[in-house]
Structure 1
């Protein structure tokens, strides 16, 4: 009990309250702030510390592993020395052999360890080849649209890694539109003028689902009603009889125009040529005597 007449008390949750009696003997109680301050980022760091670090053997993609490791190190708040220690513990099988290529000092250097693993398991592709592969990417027969969009975006990020993200997104959208097939699907999606790659993918999926396309690269579409025989099509009785009559009377489309019968140039009669003319043969036979 203090001189001011207030009584302080601490509850179970760490909050303190003070009570005060007025001149009439009534007691008023008010709650105070918690006695201890909670670190906002302490929960995230503690959760990241409890996560088991992934293992890397060299059989998986190095770029995917190092991206996950960087996210974990940032969430846990590791220093450069601790990052090198954790990365060394993540290595196994063929990847662990890279430790033998480094000295004891380099094994504690995070950048040196990452460089050794990058040289061994990283993907080294020339930007010119990557850009050529990116611009020549087309949809394969039977390839789903989601896989096409994913690979186009990955190629764009690798080929134009120095470009701003906004430029990369625009290039990926334009190349996805160019890679679409069939031709009708590509034209319909382009006419909609999607703003992003995601919007173009959703439009293409919607139109392909409505069209019932199989998702191949073949641009030919055969209409079943046109390829079906006339007899199998449902027609009225009068129209069906007219079609059959016209088909019997019409000449065969393969037959060419009728030619006039040729006449012999010798005698002028029809039915044979001049080399088969009997009159000319008789005349030649009479003229074969001695001169």
Structure 2
């Protein structure tokens, strides 16, 4: 008795809204005997706006060749001038983590990775301080210490880029990495660097947001996970979370409470990126 094995893939699409997109995509997948298991779409304006779509589909082992399917879809994409990405759901992305001295966001990711809740490979963790080396290596992950000073920042970034390219890294997570990345670095990994900012952006950008929040007497504090661009803390927002506080909170208490929000917001953003649930359009994100 033979059994049929299905191979799951994901397709992300963005283009100007126009008639026939859904029909063309569905017809194409049907031609390859694919079974659509999930389909989500969003249009900013049905009369000439932008159209976004995410599809999960199964291809079956008999006659299956994912590479051929992906190459063939380029013809459909071209006819609608789509920006698109098709990938296997089973492909484990390679995630690098950058960290400085604070460990809470890093450990949240490592815990989820070890528990199997974050299906990625972590080929290395890079830090500008040696503080967390023992902690990282206890997970069996290589720890790379690259000191960053005012007079060696460009060279330090070149070293880091070389390591990332050497390991064929898919995306990077800044888990409280307290350095501003240069345009050269950001340009090498566009839409592939996720940062956690310890503030509910756009409020209190830059350093020491909890001190600024305390001085302002806020009643809500938050954290923002976003893609990194050349504009400090202004990249496309992926996820935000908040916590209600009051006048009794000191700056340190705000900071302690904020760490929990940072962990949650960052881990959600990383999970969504890993699962191909995010489309970046301009300085916004569409999350399915």
TM-score, normalised on structure 2? 0.22
Give the helix-richer structure, 1 or 2: 1
TM-score, normalised on structure 1? 0.22
Task: Pick 1 or 2: higher relative contact order, CA cutoff 8 A, min separation 6.
Answer: 2
Give the strand-richer structure, 1 or 2: 2
